[in-house]
Chains A and B, each alone.
Chain A
Amino acid sequence: MSDVRIDLSLIADMVEPGSKVLDVGCGDGALLALLASRRHVDARGIELSREGVAGCVARGLSVIQGDADTDLGDYPDDAFDYVILSQTIQATRAPRRVLENMLRIGRRAIVSFPNFGHWNIRAQLAFKGRMPVTSNLPETWHDTPNIHFCTIRDFVGLCDTLGAVTERAVALNASGSDIGVKAPWWFWNLFGQQAVFLLRRTGPASPP
């Protein structure tokens, strides 16, 4: 399946076959379709855009129109085996609350995001003095839906704050290959263009 985006393929590999999955911000349903066909999961999705939802439902996917910031609170604890947030956390209004909800309603959470600590982004800001525009993040500062960028280090910090355990973390370089497990965090943070984290909570789903 060489036509499948590398980050989606990576996420699909993290998911146990036959599990129950919620993809938050599922867009046109590419990941859900991949998960359904390759991992035979019970795939559900939430998507903000009307066009995205209509397209997903027309493809036969179980997708509801909704908002990661407001609608995750309605799901009960442990409703899913995996809750996935693919390339969406930077567009949420309250990333911390979204991640808290994901860890509550899923036994595992998978988050992929563009790394704002990548050298190219650092260089654009440092040398041009302009907000970075890259092939990965092509919108200018006033057009972008991405309002909460973070670096890999920032994200690790948030996971620590929430007491989430990283079961697996992968950084992908600009060509989409895995940077490798041996590399130290600073190296990932500098050369990883995007990152994928598989997380689980340590405490109870909801505070008693």
Chain B
Amino acid sequence: MTAKTNRTGKASKAPASALVDPVREANEPTSLLARFGPERPLAMDCGVTLDRWQIAYQTYGTLNADRSNAVLVCHALTGDQHVANTNPVTGKSGWWEVLIGPGCPIDTDRYFVICSNVIGGCLGSTGPASLDQATGRAYGLNFPLVTIRDMVRAQAVLVEHLGIASLFAVIGGSMGGMQVLQWASSYPDRVFAAVPLATAARHSAQNIAFHEVGRQAVMADPDWQGGRYLDGAKRPSKGLSVARMGAHITYLSEAALHRKFGRNLQDREARTFTFDADFQVESYLRYQGISFVERFDANSYLYLTRAMDYFDLAADHGGVLAKAFAGSKTRFCVASFTSDWLFPTSDSRAIVHALNASGASVSFVELESDKGHDAFLLDEPELFATLRGFIGAAARARGLA
């Protein structure tokens, strides 16, 4: 694991030997933490202003003297700031360790990498699981609705707080890719290179529909208690677990499921003629659901899925996506995957067409993979070669080489 220090030289706490409590993690994270008060309020799209808020983050590598080598990594729906270190809640490796580290395409020997937990998340940035100072209880549904732009506003404050005037690159996939697009649109002068992967400039009706099923599953769980479950000991684990199982299918592909499981039975010779998890694929999904509820806050899941649903970058620019990038000097690298049916190539093409129409510099490639939407998180050599080339060329253009 790379040593993590911020510019004040304060090292982030090493992960505890025993796994940490996710509820505690929401307020007192095992991460670097930036706290902001009324002097730096966060004005949100819904009209509410947060007077006290915090953002948890991790950093890797060293910021150079010019402060020109910072890379911001934006995480996806159920990701977190632990992009390249052991996750203190799950004990598993960072979610993008294949991409970020010494000698990796995002080389921490050359770049200063920042990854923060999104506003509305549950690993230390202010969200529905955070303590509401006004009531002394968790916010729950009293937390204001969050948008992708709110997440990016909060990140912009953090980046400024770290003394970085302009980012070398902003990179992310899926919901992270939405943040990348928002960054490039909201702060074009602060983003030298943008890498939106497996994403869209607006969430499709089908994707909103899937999210709604997930939310309804959470809210149908009696233990959800109108979102007030953190006041007691019970958690809406059944509901959140079902939501995760449904969502997980959308991250894969028919081919990947078939390759992994086919119709194989789970630890048995024959069907049991019950509703037990006879099939491996059922057992796998149940495991995915159960392990998810141990690390994720149900209300956070509601808020973040909603943020994705609300995302429509063109709508903020009179319905013309190209206007979101008008005059942009940022260089873009867009990539999609052949088997991704959640954020299909057509979504990426719409982004590319808008960037072309606005005259921006853009590279785009559809990568061959049968792993579905999740491909952007996996070991995909073609993706790495593309990113290595793009980031290397951008670094030369920025004088970082």
Does A164 belong to the interface (CB within 8 Å)? no
User: Which residues in chain B, 344-368, are within 8 Å of chain A measured between CB atoms?
Assistant: 352-353, 356-357, 359, 361-368
Q: Which residues of the partner chain A approach B393 to less than 8 Å between Cβ atoms?
A: 59-61
Q: How far is the CB of A69 from chain B (nearest CB, A)?
A: 15
Does A141 belong to the interface (CB within 8 Å)? no
Q: Are B396's CB and A60's CB within 8 A?
A: yes
Of listed B333, B365, B396, residue having the most chain A CB within 10 A: B365
Q: Which residues of the partner chain B approach A71 to less than 8 Å between Cβ atoms?
A: 353
Q: Which residues of the partner chain A approach B352 to less than 8 Å between Cβ atoms?
A: 64, 66
Q: How far is the CB of B153 from chain A (nearest CB, A)?
A: 29
Query: Interface with B: A5-13, A50-58, A106-114, A172-180, which one?
Result: A50-58
Query: Interface with A: B37-45, B79-87, B293-301, B384-392, which one?
Result: B384-392
Chain A, residues 155-175, CB within 8 Å of chain B (1/0): the string is: 000000000000000000000
Q: Are B357's CB and A57's CB within 8 A?
A: no
Q: How far is the CB of A19 from chain B (nearest CB, A)?
A: 14
Instruction: Knowing A64-B363, A79-B359, say if A58 contacts B386 (CB, 8 Å).
Output: yes
Does B331 belong to the interface (CB within 8 Å)? yes
Q: Are B365's CB and A53's CB within 8 A?
A: yes
Of listed A58, A66, A75, A76, residue having the most chain B CB within 10 A: A58
Does B379 belong to the interface (CB within 8 Å)? no
User: Which residues in chain B, 364-401, are within 8 Å of chain A measured between CB atoms?
Assistant: 364-368, 382, 385-386, 388-390, 392-394, 396
Q: Which residues of the partner chain A approach B389 to less than 8 Å between Cβ atoms?
A: 57-60
Does A24 belong to the interface (CB within 8 Å)? no
Q: Are B366's CB and A50's CB within 8 A?
A: yes
Q: How far is the CB of B363 from chain A (nearest CB, A)?
A: 5
Q: How far is the CB of A196 from chain B (nearest CB, A)?
A: 26
Residue of A nearest to B366 (CB): A65
Does A62 belong to the interface (CB within 8 Å)? yes
Does A3 belong to the interface (CB within 8 Å)? no
Chain B, residues 307-341, CB within 8 Å of chain A (1/0): the string is: 00000000000000000000000010110000000
Interface size class of A (residues with CB under 8 A): 20 to 34
Q: Are B390's CB and A60's CB within 8 A?
A: yes
User: Which residues in chain A, 76-95, are within 8 Å of chain B measured between CB atoms?
Assistant: 76, 79
Q: Which residues of the partner chain A approach B357 to less than 8 Å between Cβ atoms?
A: 74-76
Q: Are B353's CB and A74's CB within 8 A?
A: yes
Q: By DSSP majority rule, is chain A's interface helix, strand, loop, or mixed?
A: mixed
Cα distance A62–B332 in the bound complex, in angstroms: 9
Does A102 belong to the interface (CB within 8 Å)? no
Instruction: Knowing A60-B396, A64-B352, A65-B366, say if A54 contacts B359 (CB, 8 Å).
Output: no
Q: Which residues of the partner chain B approach A42 to less than 8 Å between Cβ atoms?
A: 361
Does A44 belong to the interface (CB within 8 Å)? yes
Cα distance A56–B386 in the bound complex, in angstroms: 9
Q: How far is the CB of A82 from chain B (nearest CB, A)?
A: 15
Q: How far is the CB of B195 from chain A (nearest CB, A)?
A: 11
Does A63 belong to the interface (CB within 8 Å)? yes
Q: How far is the CB of A206 from chain B (nearest CB, A)?
A: 14
Q: Which residues of the partner chain A approach B392 to less than 8 Å between Cβ atoms?
A: 60
Q: Are A57's CB and B333's CB within 8 A?
A: yes
Q: Are A64's CB and B364's CB within 8 A?
A: yes
Cα distance A74–B389 in the bound complex, in angstroms: 26
Q: Are B356's CB and A57's CB within 8 A?
A: no
Residue of A nearest to B359 (CB): A79
Residue of A nearest to B368 (CB): A50
Q: Are B356's CB and A58's CB within 8 A?
A: no
Q: Which residues of the partner chain A approach B333 to less than 8 Å between Cβ atoms?
A: 57
Q: Are B365's CB and A65's CB within 8 A?
A: yes
Cα distance A61–B367 in the bound complex, in angstroms: 17
Q: Are A53's CB and B353's CB within 8 A?
A: no
Instruction: Knowing A57-B389, A74-B357, say if A62 contacts B365 (CB, 8 Å).
Output: no
Q: Which residues of the partner chain A approach B359 to less than 8 Å between Cβ atoms?
A: 76, 79
Q: Which residues of the partner chain B approach A56 to less than 8 Å between Cβ atoms?
A: 363
Q: Which residues of the partner chain B approach A62 to less than 8 Å between Cβ atoms?
A: 331, 361-363
Q: Are B356's CB and A74's CB within 8 A?
A: yes
Q: Are B356's CB and A75's CB within 8 A?
A: yes
Cα distance A76–B385 in the bound complex, in angstroms: 31
Q: Which residues of the partner chain A approach B390 to less than 8 Å between Cβ atoms?
A: 57-58, 60
10 shortest A-B CB distances, which residue pairs?
Answer: A60-B393, A58-B389, A64-B364, A74-B353, A53-B365, A57-B363, A62-B361, A58-B385, A57-B386, A62-B363
> 21 A-B pairs, CB-CB below 8 angstroms?
A50-B365, A50-B366, A50-B367, A54-B365, A54-B386, A57-B333, A57-B386, A57-B389, A58-B385, A58-B386, A58-B389, A59-B393, A60-B390, A60-B392, A60-B396, A62-B361, A65-B366, A66-B352, A71-B353, A75-B357, A79-B356
